[in-house]
Amino acid sequence: MPSNTHRDQRRSLARYDSIGIDAPVTLPELKNRTDKGFSAADFLTLHSGLIVSGKYIDEDFKTKLATSREAQEGVLELGFSVPIAKGGSGFGSCAPVSADGYFLTAAHVLAHKDSYVLYATSSNGRTYIDYAPVRVIYRNDPADFAIVKAEIATPRFLRYRREPLSPTSTLFAGGWMHEKGGGLFLEHQAVPSDTVGQFRKIVTSLPMIKGDSGSPLIDQHGRLCGVLSTMRLGVVIKMKPKSTAVMMDIAAIENLIKADRAR
């Protein structure tokens, strides 16, 4: 059974709710006001995407998504209900890193040929879920890291954390799947297949469940540290939960995105 239980997640949720996120959020639907004081769960909802396998994007799915566009003007609605995967596999999360639809995710989330990204975008009147097919611009399966592009606007995106993490760094994750977070940085690890030092693993005490893969791992200031990749499984009750994120060299990410824009 997974060592990271719902009890772990509840303790983790209480931790990050007491700490909070010290980062501003831009609200175009509220006349471009910038606000602070969001919980980590709400901050991540507004700064994450959901990747769903193309086989689940049928007419019923699209009809349910369309209802999200009916929010009242000038109202910010959080906690969208999305019919993800209909109980199956083929879904995960992703981290928006630009205003024009570039996302980072775990490579194994892209297990199916066709995938869509869902994102809580904003207009001057409302927030709603937009979606579009993803195009893979970079993928490294041994490192479990990918960069994808969707033809949608992503006005709320994450900036990178460029300074090193420390043992006192509080980290949050969770993406769209459920409310949880609040863990600590434990250590960096090398990616065995990475002979040039382009990737690093970030081991944390965060709980993680299926569907969290690709979710942004952020610090208390809302800066992106990596994307969730794996969780530790075990049967020892006292075993503490751990999850691992992966991050590529930021300059390399920026160069790949720049090259793709120039195509």
Condensed to tens digits (0 to 9), the pLDDT of residues 191-205 reads 988 888 899 999 988
| Mean pLDDT across 137-158 | 94
- Cα 144–Cα 256–Cα 111 angle in degrees, nearest 5: 30
Kindly state whether residues 139 and 89 are assigned to the same domain.
Answer: yes
On average, the pLDDT of the chain sits at 78
| Mean pLDDT across 236-242 | 57
What pLDDT score was predicted for residue 59?
72
Rounded Cα–Cα distance for residues 199 and 246 (Å):
7
Kindly state whether residues 52 and 112 are assigned to the same domain.
Answer: yes
**CATH code of residue 252:** 2.40.10
Q: Residue 80: give the domain boundaries.
A: 24-150
Kindly state whether residues 178 and 102 are assigned to the same domain.
Answer: no
Contact yes or no for 181/228 (Cβ under 8 A): no
What pLDDT score was predicted for residue 237?
47
Rounded Cα–Cα distance for residues 172 and 41 (Å):
9
- pLDDT band at residue 258, thresholds of 50, 70 and 90? very high
Long-range Cβ contacts of 139-142 (<8 Å, 24+ apart): 139/107, 139/110, 140/107, 140/199, 140/248, 141/107, 141/108, 142/191, 142/192, 142/193, 142/194
